[in-house]
Structure 1
Amino acid sequence: MKSPSSSLKVLVLAAALAAPAQSALAWGASGHRMIGVLGASTLPEDVPAFVRSPYGVAAIGEYAREPDRWKGSGKVHDHDRDAAHFLDLDDEGRMFGGPKFTVETLPATRADYATALRAVGQDEWKAGYLPYAMIDGYQQLVKDFTYWRVLVAAEKQTTDAQKKAWYAADLKRREELLLRDLGVWAHYIGDGSQPLHMSVHYNGWGDYPNPNGYTQSRGTHGAFEGPLVKAVAKDDEVKALMPALRDCACSYETRMVGYLTTTWKLTEPLYKLEKSGGMVATDPRAKAFVDERLAAGAAELRDMVAMAWKASADGKIGYRPEISVADVESGKADPWNDLFGKD
């Protein structure tokens, strides 16, 4: 019998340390869980310990599957959310015939993106809006970490027993919410490492010029990201391929566009691999391709979480006026009204 994978070991350990939860042992479930677990378990030590704990790592791995488990909730729900998983870039690097996918030409908001697509007779539901799902998730995580920093400081500083108790309880709520937000966001980062989530050629080459005779099979996408991953990918081998932590010293948008562009450029190499007969579990080229993409997703998750944690040190909470993490930590500002509520 094979020994259990490291992600399964994390799940078993977490179950022993916390309330039991259902787990499924199946980019399908296996790929997203692996990216979540490996990304979270390799975070730098300055990221709060609850995120890096066995429970936190296991939770992030399971939540990383959540957006796929939402599917089938209903027409309104699915129609709004399904397009968050992909971005259809054409062979010229345009977003479904719309603007070029560069930092300079990326519309500032999803509404601006929808307007740009309508100008060329397209819409975001067909084109996908993965970059905006990633930006949204990053900004949410920065805010979650900001509140966490403020709550930690407030609980330490107050001498009021009732306030201290409320801060402690709200900190626990924030940690659970943060793991959920981080894990769901991890799904979209994982989608961004899968070339077929970044191209108009997402499931067979499609109705486009095809001089190289690439497959038109509508089973291409599912076979690659599901059964193939489950057959060949192992946690320790993927982890060994993860590059070292990298601080790009750039905006999140710059980092995100670079990451997704790298993935998009691997679309044709994937089709070449399939054409040569190499996209099968018994071919080492398939394993090398799958492992590298999973490692890229896990490393990007790790690096982007570290980026969000660092950014939260300069974060603010409240509304007119806002108060900063630094002012709360130094004792200059009392966050009670902004945390508990002014009304």
Structure 2
Amino acid sequence: MKRVLIAAAALMLISAPAVEVEAWGNTGHRLIGVAAMRALPDDLPAFLKTPGAIADVGELSREPDRWKGAGQPHDRERDTAHFIDLTEDGRSMTAAGPSIDELPRLKSEFDAALIAAGLDVNDVGYLPYAMMDAWQNLGRDFAYWRVLNAAEARETDPGKKAWYRADRERREALIVRDIGVLSHYIGDGSQPHHTTIHYNGWSRDVPNPEGFTTSRQTHAMFEGAYVSRIARLDTVEAGMTPARLDGFDLRGRTAAYLKSTLATVTPFYRLEKAGGFAEADPRGAAFANERLAAGASELRDWIIASWRESATVSIGWPAIKVNEVEAGAVDPWTSMIGED
């Protein structure tokens, strides 16, 4: 299936409450990244709270869209990471497709389930796996940063201390980049059209009892000039929900988040039918800003959960426990620099 892809060059002044840019592909992703970063608690590394890191995450939140056009197999494999086409009851593409509530552990197993259901893997999309992969990658980043930061603080050998510092700085750049990638996919997951078979007008392959639009301009209308005109950082931040971190389970949280967005698909089409996206109608602005706030809230939670879990894992080779290094019980030098 083909999707409407929006691209535009624009700038965002994150210090100002109003944001003047074009297209959700830029505006929405920037806003979600910036709002989430500004909402991180103080117990996360201080470098994440700097204006530079916040601005960089906003820009890097667009990165998976900017990868497009690299050629094959890159594009075919990556383009389908931005969405998952679900029926109203959360099944992949058709009633025979696997349920979002029963995501297999591996993407390859998900692909096999789609093929068994007679579905084309490239039609359905694999957004949940892109989200989970990005979160796990960030967890590795945080774990290495914890070890490098602790080792640098304790190291007395000047040469080793300098190496730890340099590698920590490299890891900080990777963390900002990888938060940007995570931000993009979580942002995609907050946009109703990225979670449904009705991704660009109501699908003509299923009943349409309420007479919703089938216009192939629907996706572009919402992600394009409309959101550019009404999106505001202060409104998004005001709409963010309190953190929900207790019992964070990656697959369960992924499914719940995408289902919550899926539940906004029919309300979107009802609002569109009622003229809610007309220029002066506040209902459309409220809907769009709520969706951006949902993405920012989710991203904030995923970053915090990744940071907290990173204290409990093992990394490097030979493997070392992060919490033992932070406690000063283990010297991580060999595990960090490598032993050939």
Same fold (TM over 0.5): yes
Counterpart code for 1:88: D
**Among residues 123, 126, 129, which one is paired with 2:123 in the alignment?**
126
Q: Is the 8 A contact 1:7 1:37 kept in 2?
A: no
| 1:276 equivalent among 274, 277, 282 | 274
Matched with 1:287 is 285
Q: Could you say which residue in structure 2 is the equivalent of 1:101?
A: 100
Partners of 1:141 and 1:308 within 8 A in 2: yes
In structure 2, what is the equivalent of residue 257 of structure 1? 255
Deviation at 1:10, TM superposition (A): 4.2
Instruction: Write the letter of the residue equivalent to 1:219.
Output: Q
Separation (CA, whole Å) in 1 of partners of 2:79 and 2:173: 25
1:78 aligns to what SS in structure 2? helix
The AA in structure 2 aligned to 1:114 is D
Query: 1: distance between equivalents of 2:251 and 2:13?
Result: 33
Q: Is residue 2:218 matched to residue 1:220? A: yes
2:178 aligns to what?
A: 181
Cross-structure match for 2:38: 41
Q: Tell me by how many angstroms 1:246 deviates.
A: 2.1
Q: How does 1:289-304 map to 2 (within 5 A)?
A: 289-304=287-302
| Aligned 8 A contact 2:14 2:55 in 1 | no
Residue in structure 1 matched with residue 189 of structure 2 by the alignment: 192
Q: Cα–Cα, structure 1 residues 9 and 251, in superposed 2: closer, same or farther, change >3 Å?
A: closer
CA distance in 2, matches of 1:267, 1:161: 58
Q: Deviations over 1:268-314 (max 9, x none)?
A: 11011111111233211100100100010011111110111111111
Q: Which residue of 1 aligns with 2:327?
A: 330
Q: Distance in 1 between matches of 2:112 and 2:275?
A: 42
State the secondary structure of the residue aligned to 2:167. helix
CA deviations 1:179-233 (Å, max 9, x no partner) are 0011111000000000100000000112211121111111101110221111111
Amino acid at match of 1:43: L
Q: Following TM superposition, by how much is the alpha carbon of 1:248 offset from its aligned partner in structure 2, in angstroms?
A: 3.3
Task: Please give the residue correspondences for 1:152-191 in structure 2 after superposition, counting only pairs within 5 Å.
Answer: 152-191=149-188
Cα drift, residue 25 of structure 1: 4.2
Question: Is the 1:7–1:58 Cα contact (8 Å) retained in structure 2?
Answer: no
8 A contact 2:230–2:285 mirrored in 1: yes
Number of residue pairs aligned between Structure 1 and Structure 2: 323
User: Which residue among 8, 14, 18 is the counterpart of 2:13?
Assistant: 8
Q: Which residue of 2 aligns with 1:62?
A: 59
| Residue of structure 2 in register with 1:3 after alignment | none
1:114 to 94, 106, 111: 111
| Aligned-pair CA distance for 1:7 | 5.7
Partner of 2:70: 73
Partners of 1:248 and 1:255 within 8 A in 2: no
Aligned-residue Cα RMSD (Å) equals 1.6
Structure 2's unaligned 5+ residue stretches are: 1-10
TM-score of the pair, normalised by structure 2:
0.92
- Corresponding residue of 1:32: 29
In 2, Cα distance between equivalents of 1:84 and 1:337: 37
1:312 maps to: 310
Amino acid at match of 2:120: D
Distance 1:129 1:153 in 2: 37
* Unaligned 5+ runs, structure 1: 1-5, 12-23
Equivalent AA in structure 2 for residue 62 of structure 1: E
Deviation at 1:329, TM superposition (A): 1.7
Instruction: Measure the CA separation in 1 of the matches of 2:140 and 2:153.
Output: 20
Counterpart of 1:306 in structure 2: which amino acid? I
4+ residue stretches of structure 1 with deviation over 6 A? Answer: none
2:236 equivalent in structure 1: 238
Scaled by the length of structure 1, what TM-score is found?
0.91
Contact 1:30 1:226 in 2 (8 A): no
